[in-house]
Structure 1
Amino acid sequence: MKNKWLQITLSVLSLGLAVLLVVYLPQIVRTLTGKPVSWAEIGRVFGTLSGGEIALMAALWLLSLLAYTFVLTNSLPGLNNLQGLTLNAAGSAVSNLLPFGGAVGVAVSFAMTRGWGFANRSIVVMALVSGIWNTLFRFILPAVGIVALLIAGKAATPQIAGAGWTGAISILVLCTIVAVALYWDRAATVLGRALDGIARLLRLKIHASEAFHKLRADTAGVVRSRWPGLSLGMVFFLGFQWSIMAVCLHATGAWPGLAQSIAVFALSRVLTSVLLTPSGAGIMEGGVVLLLTEGFGVGVAPATASALLFGFWTYTIEIPFGGLALGAWALLRRRNGRNADAEPPSAISKATR
């Protein structure tokens, strides 16, 4: 009970903090940037949105959800796209409501996939593989943002440009090494030894290579045969999410340029990892506004409106949508259970022959 009440308390506090961060976002923006903005100004920006722009955002949001289903269907052979969509929506809703909600989302996914008849082993592999691919692409995104700015010539000095190239290439090389090691035996052995060396250097009492080889053994079959589908699913998912941000920036008059929009998008996805609030809600918006205004010279009202609008399409709307998906799954499961109970024994015996 103590743990249960602690979890409930932390969840309420975390959600409350997220709400406060959004409600007081104008004051936070003023503190961060020194530029005043009010909800009235933000509301006037929202008032300029057209029905076509809102419809386009909604279409891109639905396409992003559909794209991610391919990550799930490639992680769990036999899962169809409708099931993947339901799984993604329900898991996202739980994750967006709770701090450290990813663990609860996995539990929800486990229950749903078990209800569809999948084995425990396959479900665990799905959770591992989809988690690995999400983590890899979350690391890659900052490098992509840095490279976009460097190619566009947005670095302030040659020294900053050099540091940017070094950092971006280092991140991409690291992600490539991990991805190759998951696929290739010899690379896995080398990476395992390197991990052990790092653990010894840091005086950590863990067997890093043993943990890595166990992870690899658990996921090797799916990774080797389905990595193209997993990767394309993540690329299209993130591509559609960036498209949502691009439309939000254009619609609010906050468009800073192509390279800058990629950098802002990369920052927004990194900030969703901040566990202080569910999915970094409130924190993501503040970071986006700060980069747009201080980094790229966008007006504070359009920047704040675009951050809030993007947060709505990538966080807020997923909660009721996921709730509907979870409710529909529960109702169908209950109805199927009642039908099975009501079926006479003779019919059951005939069906099994």
Structure 2
Amino acid sequence: MTAVAPQAPPTRPPRGKPLWRRVVPPLLSLVLVAAVFFWFLPQFTSLSDVWSAVAAMTWAELALLGIATLWNLATYQFVMVVTMPGLRLREATVSTLTTTAVSNTVIGGAAISLGLTYGMNSSWGFSRSRTSVMLLLSGLWNNFAKLALPVLALSLLALTSTPTTGRLLAGLAGLAGLVAAVVLLGLLLRSRESAARIGRGAGRVASAVLRPLGRPPVHGWDLATTKFRDRTALLLRARWHWLTLATVVSQLSLFLVLVVALRAVGVTAAQVGVVEALAVFAFARLLTAVPFTPGGLGVIELALITGLSAAGGDRALVAAAVLVFRALTYVLPIPLGLGTYVFWRQNRSWRREPNTAPRTELVPETV
């Protein structure tokens, strides 16, 4: 009689997120957006007042708004081209517009945008590693800019007006965060050993935070930071200044659209100066570091309208300017992104075989 080997008990399928964790965040986002647009905004203006402000613009003001908007749409491509050697500007434009449209319309769209970026770059012959380097560096510099803008704005305010205790504390906190981030990056890039030490230290901190939540400790962070260092050190040493310039231009180009919108609807420099507007814009951008809603919808409007009104702007005109600004920088990329997505799906002339994109001296063979 043949012995039958005991069968292993069936493995349980991996548990997905509980239903409440999938439902509650989108629901809270919808509640926040509804509260801003249906309760908060009507206290400042009405759609008829917004339309009246837009209709009162001259052709010169509309043309200036259009030029500022087009320039803003073009600037983030510079960051992608700098961080992805071999990527053409036309490809960066298609990728940026498409992923922006997804991020602006889908709750949790950031993850979908990442997948789209990998898919598009792969269709143009770029490896996943090269795309990862691009996303890591562009995201890192974008966060540096979000930390640096409030510091810059508060410094300018201190030079042009009497600084308050709150402003000084906020500026010092932002400066400390920025310096700490830059120092940490410098240590991480200095050597593989220092990168591994930073990874192990960050892993211990993350494990300590997760322990009270009943989560297991994290592993492999030293390998992850070492890999990041190996992939980015060469590119950063050669292009950090161009990456910094491209990021600054991108951030200030977005701010330019806001300033032009304010002036076009009648908010004068005597009511809200450029430095005051920059301070409000900087802190509104800082709020988007936490993705409460797609594209910061509702959050940005709330922060800009309250901040610019508190700075001295007419409430109705400020609300009109902010809605015009968001229409040009949040709404407009959505149909454009839909068009670029259809173009990418249909166009085959730009396609390359996997991992056949042109290499440069900044792209090691292992990347």
TMscore range, shorter length? 0.7 to 0.9
Paired residue type of 2:150: P
| Alignment counterpart, residue 263 of structure 2, candidates 247, 250, 257 | 250
TM-fit CA distance, 1:236: 0.8
Give the structure-2-normalised TM-score. Answer: 0.77
Go from structure 1 to structure 2 and tell me whether the alpha carbon gap of 1:274 and 1:59 turns closer, same or farther (over 3 Å shift): same
Residue aligned with 1:79, SS: coil
* CA distance, structure 1, for counterparts of residue 343 and residue 207 of structure 2: 51
The answer to whether 1:332 aligns with 2:347 is yes
Contact 1:139 1:175 in 2 (8 A): no
The answer to whether 1:310 aligns with 2:325 is yes
Task: Show the counterpart of 1:160.
Answer: 166
* CA distance, structure 2, for counterparts of residue 10 and residue 324 of structure 1: 32
Task: Show the counterpart of 2:357.
Answer: none
**Where do residues 31-110 of structure 1 align in structure 2 (5 Å cutoff)?**
37-110=45-118
Contact 2:26 2:107 in 1 (8 A): no
TM-fit CA distance, 1:90: 0.8
Contact 1:289 1:303 in 2 (8 A): yes
Residue aligned with 1:275, SS: coil
* CA distance, structure 1, for counterparts of residue 48 and residue 159 of structure 2: 38
Higher helix content, 1 or 2: 1
| Alignment counterpart, residue 323 of structure 1, candidates 326, 338, 344 | 338
Go from structure 1 to structure 2 and tell me whether the alpha carbon gap of 1:291 and 1:178 turns closer, same or farther (over 3 Å shift): same
* CA distance, structure 2, for counterparts of residue 9 and residue 323 of structure 1: 26
TM-fit CA distance, 1:274: 4.2
**Where do residues 245-284 of structure 1 align in structure 2 (5 Å cutoff)?**
245-255=258-268, 256-284=272-300
Paired residue type of 1:100: G
* CA distance, structure 2, for counterparts of residue 143 and residue 171 of structure 1: 10
Task: Show the counterpart of 1:287.
Answer: 303
Task: Show the counterpart of 2:126.
Answer: 118
Go from structure 1 to structure 2 and tell me whether the alpha carbon gap of 1:111 and 1:11 turns closer, same or farther (over 3 Å shift): farther
Deviations 1:268-290 (A, max 9, x none): 32233442320111221111111
| Alignment counterpart, residue 233 of structure 2, candidates 220, 245, 251 | 220
Task: Show the counterpart of 1:20.
Answer: 34
TM-fit CA distance, 1:188: 4.8
| Alignment counterpart, residue 141 of structure 2, candidates 133, 151, 162 | 133
Go from structure 1 to structure 2 and tell me whether the alpha carbon gap of 1:336 and 1:84 turns closer, same or farther (over 3 Å shift): closer
Q: Which moved more, 1:309-318 or 1:120-129?
A: 120-129
TM-fit CA distance, 1:154: 4.8
* CA distance, structure 1, for counterparts of residue 108 and residue 127 of structure 2: 25
Task: Provide the aligned length of Structure 1 versus Structure 2.
Answer: 325
Deviations 1:246-275 (A, max 9, x none): 101111222401210111221232233442
* CA distance, structure 2, for counterparts of residue 98 and residue 7 of structure 1: 17
Give the structure-1-normalised TM-score. Answer: 0.80
- RMSD over equivalenced CA pairs, Å: 3.3
Deviations 1:7-32 (A, max 9, x none): 997898588557635642xx3146xx
* CA distance, structure 2, for counterparts of residue 153 and residue 219 of structure 1: 41
Go from structure 1 to structure 2 and tell me whether the alpha carbon gap of 1:191 and 1:161 turns closer, same or farther (over 3 Å shift): same
Task: Show the counterpart of 1:342.
Answer: none
* CA distance, structure 1, for counterparts of residue 84 and residue 135 of structure 2: 9
The answer to whether 1:145 aligns with 2:153 is yes
* CA distance, structure 1, for counterparts of residue 189 and residue 150 of structure 2: 24
Paired residue type of 1:227: W
Contact 1:92 1:105 in 2 (8 A): yes
Contact 2:94 2:337 in 1 (8 A): yes
* CA distance, structure 2, for counterparts of residue 324 and residue 14 of structure 1: 30
Q: Which moved more, 1:189-198 or 1:253-262?
A: 189-198
Contact 2:188 2:198 in 1 (8 A): no
Go from structure 1 to structure 2 and tell me whether the alpha carbon gap of 1:6 and 1:135 turns closer, same or farther (over 3 Å shift): same
Contact 1:29 1:36 in 2 (8 A): yes
* CA distance, structure 2, for counterparts of residue 312 and residue 195 of structure 1: 40
TM-fit CA distance, 1:302: 0.8
Paired residue type of 1:28: F
Contact 1:150 1:164 in 2 (8 A): no
Q: Give unpaired runs (5+ residues) of structure 1.
A: 338-353
TM-fit CA distance, 1:210: 5.1
TM-fit CA distance, 1:234: 0.6
